[in-house]
Amino acid sequence: MGRETQGGIVGAGPAGLLLSHLLHLQGIDSVVLELRSRADIESTIRAGVLEQGTVDLLTAVGVGERMRREGSVHHGIVLRFGGRDHRIDLHGLTGGRAIMLYAQHEVIKDLVKARLDAGGRLLFEVTDVSVHDFDTSAPKVRFRQGGEPQELRCDFVAGCDGFHGICRPSIPATRRTEYQRIYPFGWFGILAEAPRSTPEIIYARHERGFALVSTRSPELQRLYLQCDSKDDIANWPDERIWQELKARLATTDGWSLMDGPITQKGIVAMRSFVVEPMQYGRLFLAGDAAHIVTPTGAKGMNLAVADVRVLARALAEFFTSRSTELLERYSQTCLPRVWRAQRFSWWMTAVTHRFDDDDAFSGQLQLAELDYVTSSRAAATALAENYVGLPMDASSLK
């Protein structure tokens, strides 16, 4: 069976859903195809930190109301090392900018609702998705729905299907360059029904490995600890998790970590990845389909949002004037920001994690780096401006 739309969007993550919403606001029709069920995408636990620019965009396009009510604004973060806390005053160092703690699956719920309320076409639980003819002006997406083969004819395809999706590998290998770094460790993430232990996120460097304390609500906390990349959650009964977190987060001033029942556990692989260019013909990659950052900088979802903001503008220009100028520049516009986020995420990882080849010298360098960034206003400002989110255009940093 055949269908038509202007935009065929593969993947209903933050990138695909927000792109569909932004296009709709400009009168451009799209269809979003998603492998998983609505219930599944609305309950998968992932990111939590939204940059100021992401918050501003979600608000401006009418999907920020619940976020503003239920999310929490944080004006600083804490770097903990040597058993002591050092606060980075994000707000004071960036002229009043901040971050919002609001779970990614809540952003997903808000976007799905906005699309469905506007009559948007989101097809869940499709299978066998493949993209075709995107080197012509008549691309197609083929898939099965309820087992029935379907074909979606469109003017362009947006590959928003995450790192393991099918869009990126559909670009001929000779037409893309991939940059990748894989780390020997991962993050063990938990959700715990416990009171807050800290008003602000704590990034802790410890000889036993990195730990992170974040939050979702006054009653629900999100914590991570560095683990072996091949580790198994079966190796981590609740008591071991709390013991390890408490050891890595111990301070010299009597602070204590509040524990409680653990309701979710998962291991996240650590990877840095970029594909260049992020487009081929009429196929445009956005979000994790094009790049992965280590989670230490909290940048992944924010980069996905930044990509689709650029793509939506370029497509709007195309559909109003048939000009392909912005579309042709899509990769060039996105990639500098992607690499700046890679640099920052790599740096945050490098100064806080235990590496396999750890030697006493590297450990001292990490401490010197952390000491510098928490005692020099210039260095702290550099961290803060990256953490709250760099502007789209690097020239405005001058």
Find the shortest distance in angstroms from Cβ 347 to ligand FAD.
16
How far apart are CB 64 and ligand FAD at their closest, in Å?
A: 16
Q: How far apart, in whole angstroms, are the C-alpha atoms of residue 317 and residue 353?
A: 44
Which one of 74, 75, 206, 291 is the catalytic residue? 74
Cβ–Cβ < 8 Å for 314, 320: no
Q: Tell me the one-letter amino acid at 38.
A: R
Catalytic, 387? Answer yes
3-state secondary structure of 308: helix
Q: Respond yes or no: is residue 295 known to be catalytic.
A: yes
Report in angstroms how near the CB of residue 243 gets to ligand FAD at its nearest.
21
Q: In the annotation, is 203 catalytic? A: yes
Instruction: Name every residue whose Cβ is closer than 8 Å to that of residue 101 and which is 6 or more positions away in sequence.
Output: 48, 49, 50, 71, 72, 73, 74, 201, 214, 215, 216
Q: According to CB under 6 A, which residues from 319 to 378 bind ligand DHB?
A: none
Task: Identify the residue among 168, 205, 206, 222 touching ligand DHB (CB under 6 A).
Answer: 222
Query: Should residue 389 be labelled a site residue for ligand FAD when binding is judged by CB under 6 A?
Result: no
Q: Of 186-205, which residues contact ligand DHB (CB under 6 A)?
A: 201
Please report whether residue 162 would count as binding ligand DHB according to CB under 6 A. no
Closest to ligand FAD by CB, 163 vs 355, is 163
Tell the smallest beta-carbon distance from residue 237 to ligand DHB (Å). Answer: 22
- Give 330 or 344: the residue with its C-beta nearer to ligand DHB: 344
Residue of 24, 105, 206, 299 marked catalytic? 299
Q: Of the residues 280, 295, 330, 353, which is catalytic?
A: 295
Pick one of 109, 216, 299, 337: the residue that binds ligand FAD (CB under 6 A).
299
- Examine residue 46 and tell whether it contacts ligand FAD (CB under 6 A): yes
CA distance linking residue 295 with residue 287, whole number of Å: 14
Q: Please tell me what DSSP assigns to residue 277.
A: S
| Whole-number Å distance between alpha carbons of 226 and 336 | 29
By CB under 6 A, tell whether 296 contacts ligand DHB. Answer: yes
Shortest separation between residue 47's beta carbon and ligand DHB, angstroms = 6
Bond preceding residue 149 cis, omega within 30 of 0? no
Does the protein bind ligand DHB through residue 50 (CB under 6 A)? no
**What tokens does 67 get?**
């976020």
Beta strands in 194-288 (DSSP E): 202-204, 211-217, 220-228, 262-276, 279-280, 283-285
Comparing CA positions, the residue from 273, 272, 284, 271 lying closest to residue 170 is: 284
Q: Which residues are catalytic?
A: 74, 203, 295, 299, 387
List interacting residues with ligand DHB (CB under 6 A): 47-49, 201, 212, 214, 222, 295-296, 298
